[in-house]
């Protein structure tokens, strides 16, 4: 079974209560369960992690680079300004799918820039939890 890391950035632990009109009513644990289940159906062994800490996220990406593990990444607010995250993403050799629950391009101006998109295999945005399901399908098709 191919192992896949689903990595979620800052404030995504608050899903369920965080701006539900934008991010939906499912909690982070429910999202994680959705990802594990979708992965199992695709023959993927999915591990979901969340952190508010940029250096921890960079460390997880280093580990994924070392082990050539595919990554589904929702960098959350780091998307828009973290060059250290972008550089860590550039180290990856297996597929990297950038995901967002909302469609940042349809929101505030500062969300229109993704510093990660240019080093991702592809980006899926705007489909709520289905963004993750679609990303896992993309990984399954690529590996
Ligand atoms: C987000 C979009 C980002 O702009 C925001 O900072 C997030 C969540 C999304 O999944 O829609 O935290 O990445």
**Number of the ligand 1 atom closest to the C-alpha atom of 11:** 12
Note the pTM of the prediction, 2 decimals: 0.97
Q: Which of 76, 103, 109 most suits a substitution to test ligand 1, by most atoms within 8 Å of the C-beta? A: 76
**What are the average pLDDT values for consecutive 10-residue runs of the chain, which has 143 residues?**
97 96 96 98 98 98 98 98 98 98 98 98 98 98 97
**Cβ-based neighbour number of residue 32 at 10 Å:** 20
Amino acid 1: pLDDT: 86
Q: How far, in Å, CA of 18 to CA of 97, rounded?
A: 23
Which of 8, 100, 125, 133 has most ligand 1 atoms within 8 Å of CB, for mutation? 100
Residue 23 to residue 55: CA distance in whole angstroms = 25
How many whole angstroms separate alpha carbon 2 and alpha carbon 68?
11
Q: What is the pLDDT of residue 101?
A: 98
* 112 part of the active site: no
Instruction: Return the pLDDT at 70.
Output: 98
Per annotation, catalytic residue among 28, 100, 112, 132: 100
Task: Mention the CATH class of domain 2-142.
Answer: alpha beta
Look at ligand 1, atom 13, and give the residue with the nearest C-alpha. Answer: 76
Atom 1 in ligand 1: residue holding the nearest Cα: 76
Break the chain into its structural domains and give their ranges: 2-142
Asked if 108 and 67 touch (Cβ cutoff 8 Å), the reply is no
């Amino acid at each position: 079974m191919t192992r896949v890391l689903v990595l979620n950035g800052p404030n995504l632990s608050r899903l369920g209560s965080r701006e539900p009109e934008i991010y939906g009513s499912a909690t982070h644990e429910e999202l994680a369960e959705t990802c594990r289940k979708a992965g199992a159906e695709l023959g993927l062994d999915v591990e979901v992690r969340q952190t508010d800490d940029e250096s921890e996220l960079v460390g997880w990406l280093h580990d994924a680079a070392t082990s050539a593990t595919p990554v589904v990444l929702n960098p959350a607010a780091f998307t828009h300004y973290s060059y250290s995250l972008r550089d860590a993403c550039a180290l990856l050799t297996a597929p990297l799918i950038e995901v967002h629950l909302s469609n940042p391009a349809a929101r505030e101006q500062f969300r229109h820039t993704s510093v990660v998109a240019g080093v991702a295999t592809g980006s899926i945005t705007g489909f709520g939890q289905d963004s993750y399901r679609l990303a896992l399908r993309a990984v399954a098709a690529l590996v």
